[in-house]
Structure formats: structure tokens, C-alpha cells
Structure 1
Amino acid sequence: MFGRLTSRLCETGSLNPRPRHRPRTRTDERAEVAVLATIAVNPQISTRQIEREVGVSKSSAQRILKRHKFHPYHVHLHQDLHGNDFRNRVTFCRWAQQKLLTNPNFFADVLFTDEASFSNKGIANMRNMHYWSADNPKWLCQVGHQRPWKVYVWCGIIGDTIIGPFFINGIQNGRQYSRFVRQNLPVLLDTVPLNRRMVTWYQYDGCPAHSTLRARRLLNRKFRGRWIGRGGPVRWPARYPDLTPLDYFLWGAVNDAVNQHEPTTPEDMKQHIIDACTAIKEETVARSRASFIRRVTLCMQASGHHFEHGM
């Protein structure tokens, strides 16, 4: 080390490190064409790969792409569709559009329902966790990843109102679901005006517990043909989360709120879920229902295939 310092002092008259000049990479027209050609061949290539293959720096590649209006779009995950799924989706959307023609507010009286599970293995964002102190408090947060547990929850959306949450003990089966419809659902709907309950349609997905003969007979008695589901008066297509407000809106919002601070116990997580549902404003719920109507139109235009959408 002393030898290098002596040599540097003799050569430059200073002990400061020699400035390192990074050689500039070529960004002429030939390099620009090469970057654009690489993108055309492989649209999923990274700027690091472009740097290695073309010989321009990562920042130069980014400038070239930005100058030509390229944007790094992210992939969206969609439910796998196959077989009769496309035809079934179109059939349902056609029925929905017919209902909207006779009554534009028809789906304000549809109770969309779904269940979800929340696990203690959710990832907490530690960047949002702060502990201001003059000294290091050696702050620790205990997690129970070696003792995994889940909380199962049911929710519904009707109009601009969230119904629930209702917490399910264990994994739901046909007997338990029938008991819920018979005993718990009427209590949850107490806040809905009676005249609205008389015309409410009930919707659920194709979960096996929902479609047992016992559950279908019970729904026929309670809603008298006004329900949407597997084996019902109106068939709900399988693999259809992009038309359920709970899937494309509610569960994501609740999950984001719950994972801001990692729950320590099932009871703690349940309270986080309750708080998250309570914090969602009625206007936001109403917008999610408006999104459902827009999605029906987009699905018809796509002939039942996947379509681009926003909330």
C-alpha cells in the first residue's frame, strides 16, 4: 500500500486516487439500429442482455428505447381458459347485456360473493416499518413461519356495500356452506333494506362446496330462481375471476392492507381484514361494479377470450 501511495505521489503530485474514465460506448446510428433490431427479435430481452450482445451501455440502450417510445410493460397473469370456457363466457355476458337493456341498474341488486384464504406467510414490507431512536433499540419482530396458519373468510358486494367479512372455521364443505346460507347469510343481509332483499340475485363461483344438491335446493327456496352459479338458473362460467368484483378488486385491496404489518395471530389477522373492509369507501365499491359492466362488454368484444381491462 505504501509503495502504491509513493508511486502515485511521484507521478501525480497528489495522494488522491487517479480518476477513472469509463470508455464511452458507441451510440451512433449503427448501434441504434442494432438495439432496435434486437428488441424486434426478442421483445423480452433485458437492457443488460442488450449491453452484452450489442456492445452499448445499459444507459445508452435505455435512452435509445425511450427516444423511440418503447416502454417496459409488465406481464399480467390470467386464468387459463380452454374447451367450452370461451362459449360459456359469451353466453353469460349475453345474458348480462340483456338484463342491462331492460334495467341499467340490474347488477346493483346482485350480491356477488366469494371466499378467500389469508396466510401468515404473507410478506411484510419492512421498508414501511420505522423505529426512531437515538440509540439502536435492536427492534425485533417475531414471525411464526414455522407454524403456518390460515384464515378463511367470506365476503359479498351488493351495490356500493361490502357484506361481511364472515370468517369460516376450517375448509368449507357442502354441509357447512348450506348452514351458512341458512343461518348466517340472513344476519349479514340485515343491513340491506327489505325491499331490496326481495329482488336480490345471489352469485357464487363453481367451488364444489357451493354446488352440492343440498346447497342448490336451499338457494332455490331462498332466492326462487334468482341466483347465478354452477347448476343454477343462470350458469356462472368456470375460471371467471375477471368478472367477479371480489377477485379483481376486493381481495387485492384487503391483501395489500393486511400485509402492511405482518399479523401475529389469527385473531390479529381477522381484525386487520375487518379494518381493511371497513376502510374501503362506498364510491370505490360503486366503481368496481361499474367496472363489471365494462368488463362484460369487453369480454363480448373478445369473443370470450382474455381482454385488457382496468379497475
Structure 2
Amino acid sequence: MSRSLTNEQRIFLVKQWWKAGNTRVVNEAFQAEFPDTKIPARQAIYQLAKKFDETGSFEDAPRSGRPRTVRTEENMERVSETFLLNPQTSKKRASIDLGISRRSLGRLMQDLNLKLYKPRLLQALNEDDPDRRMEFCEWVLDSFEEDSTVLDRILWTDEAIFKINGRVNRHNCVYWNDTNPHLVIEQELHVPQVIVWGGIWSNGVVGPYFFEGNVRSQKYFQMLKDNIIPQLEEHPSFQTMIWQQDGAPPHYGQIVRDYLDDTFLHWIGHRGTVEWPPRSPDLTPCDFSLWGILKDRAYAQNPCNINHLKSLIEQEFISINVDIELCQKISRSVADRCQMCINTEGKQFEHLR
């Protein structure tokens, strides 16, 4: 940056630095004096002042022979120590602190085999959850061995909360190391804006259905009876369909369980014909795939209000519904996930994928 400045601007910067010794004050004065020139970076100001102090000039000293490389043993040690002491520092911050360009820093980090790892969000488990997860996964794999169509017949359903800016941004959560630390975050998020119900199976997606206010058993039952089940009954595979839902309180109401018992030969859920293991979003396609796809696509279009957000969600449901191959791939991937869950003795496995 300093090379693109005029001598007048360089002299001004150095004088302001001598007077204030504070880059914020220097930047404010520079912007006021030269409003059409980009403010130099803090490190550029440091280096400019240091060079003038040491040489009495802003010009680079003449060089002889081959240009000096930054990939020296000393710089390797400096970079290694920086990320060893603070592995969560950003590349930009390290570049400024070390006085090394980001491109050169990238080469040094590559030589040191430093890689970028981002944390994964995992659902915390209770003490007896692994056993219940194992039981469910064994049922899935045993059923799949007996009937290879079983995963195509399960309709996976769930509700999700969508908000205007409702995403966990992990792009700024970084960890540099030469081996994967499997850094994870266990966190629950409850910032309600609009509650969306949806389902996915190998024949496409079902929904969306938007709940107004809190979801209660009666409201959930009315949705099933008046909106969802009549729609599903028109599908030729309805008689062999297996309904899945998690153990959320609205799903557990007696009126809901009685209705599912009367409607489906088999259904998965809390006190269903097949027991659903609690705290297992890594085993249901809605959580590990559908909601992520929908939120990525909807938020990429910058919804300006709830009605706009609802419209975007409806559009994306239509888009996914025509991609039957994607729906089949997502639904059938449950078998592999169940096997991974068994391999980890019912514990979390998403961070190991």
C-alpha cells in the first residue's frame, strides 16, 4: 500500500504518527486530508514510520543478487509459534502481526502443513441416548437387509425455525493446526420467527406447512388430519408408507398417537411402533440435509421480511420436489449413517465424517 502513496502523503503519515502514535487518529487525519485516497493499513503505517526512522528515507535500500525470500528458517519458526500460541487467529491478523504478505504467509503455512478446520455443531447426548440410538440403527439395518425398499418408504418429518438472519456463521470460527483437532460446538438455538413443518422421502418432499404461534398437539393433529394425510393418501405408495417424527411434545399428544396408530401400519416416534431415539438429528434427513439446503438457498436470496421468507421456502420446496434423485440419495443415506452410529457405539459421529 505505501508504494502507491505520494511522498507528500508519506510525509503526512509519518508526521501524524510522531504526533499521535495512534493509528486511529492517524487514519482520521489522513482521510480528512486526502479523502480520495484509500487509508493505508495499520502495518503499512508501522513499516513506513520504521523505515524513515532507520534510514531517513522512504525509498527501499538497493538490493544485490537474487531477491530475498520470506521462506526462511526464522520466518518458519515465527509463523509456527504464532499459530501454536493462538491457533484460532485469522490469516489476515497473522499477516499484519508478522509483517508478512498474505500470499507469502500462505506459502509458509503450506510448508508447515497448517490446515484450516472449522467447528461442527453437535447435539449433546444424555447418558442413555447411545443405547437407544444403537437400537434404532440396528432396526434400520436389519429391516433394510430384509427389505431393500424400506428406506424409500419412510417419510421423515420435522419442524424447523427459520428467521431472517437465522444462521450460525462458522466462517469466522477457524482453527489452524497440522492435524484435525475435531473441534466441535454443542449449542442449542431458539430464536423463533416462523415455524415450518416439512417432510422428505424418496418420492420427493411434502410441505411446507407454516405454524402460527406455538405448536401444540391439537394444532399438530389438525395439520395432519386436514392438510398432510389427505395429500399423502393420493400417493400410490401410501399403504406401505412408514411415518417418522421425533419426540417433540406436540408429537406425543394422545390424540396424535391415536391418529397415527389408525393411519399407519408402522410409524417411528416416541411410543410409536418403532421408538425414535431422542437427540438424534444426525439420523433424520430433515435435520442433516433438508433444512440445511432450504436455509442455504433461502438466505442466499436475502429475505427482507417473514412473508418474503415464506415465499422463498415455498419456492425451494418446489425446486427440491422435482429433484427425485436428490431425495432418494438423501433418504437412502440413512443406512450409512446408522452404520457409522453403530461403529461409534451410539455416540456422535458427524464430526468424524
TM-score, normalised via structure 2 length: 0.66
AA paired with 2:145?
L
Q: Residue 215 of structure 1 is aligned with which of 228, 232, 256? A: 256
Could you list the per-position Cα deviations for residues 16-57 of structure 1 after superposition, in whole angstroms to 9, with x for gaps in the alignment?
Answer: x94457xx896433543564466566644555676699x673
Q: Would you say the 8 A contact 2:122–2:350 is kept in 1? A: no
Structure 1 segment 82-231 matched on structure 2, within 5 A: 82-122=126-166, 150-193=193-236, 196-224=237-265, 226-231=266-271
Q: Would you say the 8 A contact 1:202–1:223 is kept in 2? A: yes
Q: Would you say the 8 A contact 1:295–1:309 is kept in 2? A: no
What is the rounded CA distance, in whole Å, between the counterparts of 2:77 and 2:101 in structure 1?
A: 15
Could you list the per-position Cα deviations for residues 208-241 of structure 1 after superposition, in whole angstroms to 9, with x for gaps in the alignment?
Answer: 01011221122111113x0111122211111111
AA paired with 1:89?
R
AA paired with 2:110?
K
Structure 1, unaligned runs of 5 or more: 6-16, 124-147
SS in 1 for 2:252: coil
What corresponds to 1:299 in structure 2? 341
What corresponds to 1:11 in structure 2? none
What corresponds to 2:273 in structure 1? 233
What is the rounded CA distance, in whole Å, between the counterparts of 1:73 and 1:270 in structure 2?
A: 34
Structure 2, unaligned runs of 5 or more: 1-7, 13-56, 62-67, 168-190
Q: Would you say the 8 A contact 2:164–2:299 is kept in 1? A: no
Could you list the per-position Cα deviations for residues 218-266 of structure 1 after superposition, in whole angstroms to 9, with x for gaps in the alignment?
Answer: 2111113x01111222111111111111111111221122223344454
SS in 2 for 1:171: coil
Question: How far did 1:91 drift?
Answer: 1.2
Q: Residue 278 of structure 1 is aligned with which of 303, 310, 318? A: 318
What is the rounded CA distance, in whole Å, between the counterparts of 1:88 and 1:164 in structure 2?
A: 29
Q: Would you say the 8 A contact 1:25–1:57 is kept in 2? A: no
| Structure 1 residues 63 and 185: CA distance shift in structure 2, 3 A | same
Structure 1 window deviating more from structure 2 (296-305 vs 39-48): it is: 39-48
What corresponds to 1:29 in structure 2? 73
AA paired with 2:267?
W
What corresponds to 1:126 in structure 2? none
What is the rounded CA distance, in whole Å, between the counterparts of 1:46 and 1:25 in structure 2?
A: 23
Question: How far did 1:267 drift?
Answer: 3.6
Tell me the percent identity. Answer: 29
Q: Would you say the 8 A contact 1:113–1:156 is kept in 2? A: yes
What is the rounded CA distance, in whole Å, between the counterparts of 2:203 and 2:213 in structure 1?
A: 29
Question: How far did 1:309 drift?
Answer: 6.8
Could you list the per-position Cα deviations for residues 259-308 of structure 1 after superposition, in whole angstroms to 9, with x for gaps in the alignment?
Answer: 23344454433221111111122222122113222211111111112224
AA paired with 1:176?
K
RMSD value, Cα: 3.3
| Structure 1 residues 186 and 308: CA distance shift in structure 2, 3 A | closer
What is the rounded CA distance, in whole Å, between the counterparts of 2:151 and 2:332 in structure 1?
A: 9
Structure 1 window deviating more from structure 2 (167-176 vs 199-208): it is: 167-176
What corresponds to 1:9 in structure 2? none
SS in 1 for 2:251: coil
